[in-house]
Amino acid sequence: MAQIFKPNANAIIRVSIITGILLIIGIILTMVAIYRSTYYTEVGVAKAQSVPFSHKHHVSELKIDCRYCHATVERAAFAGIPTTDTCMSCHSQIWLNSPLLETVRESYRTGEPVQWSRIYDLPDFVYFNHSIHVNKGVGCNVCHGQVDQMQLVSQAQPLYMGWCLDCHRNPEQYVRPREEVFNMEWAPPENQLEMGRRLVQEYEIKVENLSDCYICHR
């Protein structure tokens, strides 16, 4: 009877096993790299918008408050995208003939909404409410970054669950006085921990429930 395995079979098996293991490790590493890359998280990747609206100009140079446009942020889950009426309350007076604003003027004439590209898009199985965060002293720039320095807005955080939990488990490291929530220049002071613990008590932040599953997955 002829031999089933040829003399080089051992070498072939060894090479196959090693290649297989390397392949699996390679696939895992590639997946991790993709998962953490800006291609997947879109952190810092500015999106084109139908109107090239500059937050830097309006927030940093004109000092317009976040709430002027995102008006429902204090009382609703959704912060709110400004109506064309809001844009036109100024732009019916200034930059009347700017071609950059033609989309806005057309929307005002026709009643058709301006279409914006969404930047922050949580998975649908995550419940998020802006008003509770704003009212408990979580500042805009904690999640949205230095929007006042962005021409076109990009995502500032990857929105991993671990990142959410980091604050939900240790809110005292992040909360600030309510009146500083909309201050884009606010940075944690030296006594953040001490102040944070006081604010967690004062704002009745229920730390013991904050990392329960149902808080975000409901």
- Contacting positions for other proteins (CB under 8 A): 2, 62-68, 71, 75, 77-78, 81, 83, 85-86, 88-90, 92-94, 112-113, 115, 121, 123-125, 179, 182
Write down the least CB distance from residue 116 to other proteins, Å: 8
Residue 157 DSSP code:
S
Q: Which is nearer to other proteins, 107 or 172 (CB)?
A: 107
Q: Which residue has the tokens 């301006």?
A: 114
84-91 and 102-110 helices, crossing angle to 10°:
120
Q: Which is nearer to other proteins, 81 or 152 (CB)?
A: 81
Widest Cα–Cα separation across the chain: 97
DSSP string, 85-126: HHHHHHHTTSSTT-GGGHHHHHHHHH-PPPP---S----TT-
Write down the least CB distance from residue 199 to other proteins, Å: 17
Q: Which is nearer to other proteins, 71 or 195 (CB)?
A: 71
Write down the least CB distance from residue 208 to other proteins, Å: 28
Write down the least CB distance from residue 126 to other proteins, Å: 9
Among 142, 132, 217, which residue's Cα sits nearest to residue 173?
A: 142
**C-alpha separations of 142 from 74, 126, 148, 173, 183 in Å:** 16, 18, 13, 11, 11
Is residue 95 within 8 Å of residue 87, measured between CB atoms? no
Write down the least CB distance from residue 170 to other proteins, Å: 27
Write down the least CB distance from residue 113 to other proteins, Å: 6
Q: Which is nearer to other proteins, 83 or 170 (CB)?
A: 83
Q: Which is nearer to other proteins, 81 or 195 (CB)?
A: 81
